[in-house]
Each structure stands twice: as structure tokens, then as C-alpha cells.
Amino acid sequence: TGTQRSGIEADLLYVDNPRVQKWIKHFTTGSGRLTMEKWLHRKTAVDSLISTHLDVAGLPAELIYHALIESGFNTSAKSRVGAVGPWQFMPATGKHFGLRVDWWVDERQDFEMSTIAAITYLTQLYNHFDDWALALAAYNAGEHRIDRAIKSAGHDDFWNLRLPWETQNHIPKFIAVARISENQNAYGFNVSTAPTFQYEVIQVTDAT
């Protein structure tokens, strides 16, 4: 139509292929529907916090769905390889982006601090790849692995790169979840609203 689309729309959200449709079916009529309902309910609690930080950083609001598929917005989420928190940071990556990770404190589980760290990381990845599919794939698999896959293939089309199974599914899953969330009624979801995520900051001056 000649309408200019944002970068994430052009790179991702208008892509439609069997891999995307598989995940849409999984989350709407398959075994993942109840999980999708739970995720959408949780999203209402943290939407404002994450969206505000994304807006300040000048990043697409749709990146909230990256945290959704990484952890379901669960601060206690832990992967089989040791990634923790709503944005699923590995220990070394979390420390690199300013999060404290030790015996006493794991700031990967702090919703706001991990969101700020993830935004910094996603900004760097997008500046490197200039493509949201590749940036999100790199967040999942590591930028060096994506660089090697691009070099080996001789092109940078995510959909035709040789990547780990989890990373291959990460992008179509992201598109499916974003599409469903932005059109919940069309997919038959009527999600209740959760209380907005709130907290207070308290100065601790002694062992607590």
C-alpha cells in the first residue's frame, strides 16, 4: 500500500509462513492455549513498566514479547543452562550489563533492573545486525554464533540460516505471540487484568 512500516514490522511482524502458523495454532487451539492465557494475564501487570523503558530507549514496544516467550514474565524462571529471570540472562552476560549476580543477590530477577539491562543488550545487538530477526536470534543464541552462521551461509536471511533448533523456533514463536497479543479478541481470548506491578525502594544500611 506504500505505508511505511517500523523496522520491527518490516523485519518480523508481517512475516507469515508455516513456522509462524505452527506457533499460532499451538497457542490458540493447541496445548499452549492455557499458557498463552496465563502469559497475557501477567502482561497486564508489567506492560506499563516495560513499555515505558522501551519508549525511553527508542525501541519498539513489541519487544515486550521477547520477555514473554523467554520467561512468561516469571522472575524465578531458570533455564536448563542457567539463564535466570524475566529476560533470561546468563550469569556472565548479566554481570556484563551491570547486574549483580552473587550468593547474596541476583539482580537478573529484579524486574526493572533486568529490563534496563536487556534494553541495553538489545540495542547493541540491533546496532550490530540492523535486523530485528537477527538481533533476537542473537539474544537467544549469542551474537558470535549468529555471525558464524551468516559467514557460513554467505547471507543474512534469518529464515535460511543453519541455527540451533531452539533459535530457529524463537523468532516464529515471537511473531506468533505478538500477533495473538495484539489481536486477542480475534483469537478468542478474554483475559482478566492483573494488578499493576508496583514496588518501593528502601535504603538498607546494615545486614538484612
Residue 41, φ and ψ in degrees, nearest 5: -65, -45
Rounded Cα gap, residues 19 and 168, in angstroms: 9
The answer to whether the beta carbons of residues 65 and 174 sit under 8 Å apart is: yes
Q: Known catalytic residue: 9?
A: no
Eight-state DSSP code of residue 98: T
**Site of grid cell 535466570:** 84
Choice among 62, 70, 112, 182 that is catalytic: 70
Cβ-contact 20, 168 below 8 angstroms: no
> Residue 169 to residues 18, 23, 133, 160: CA-CA distances in angstroms?
12, 9, 11, 13
Active site residues: 70
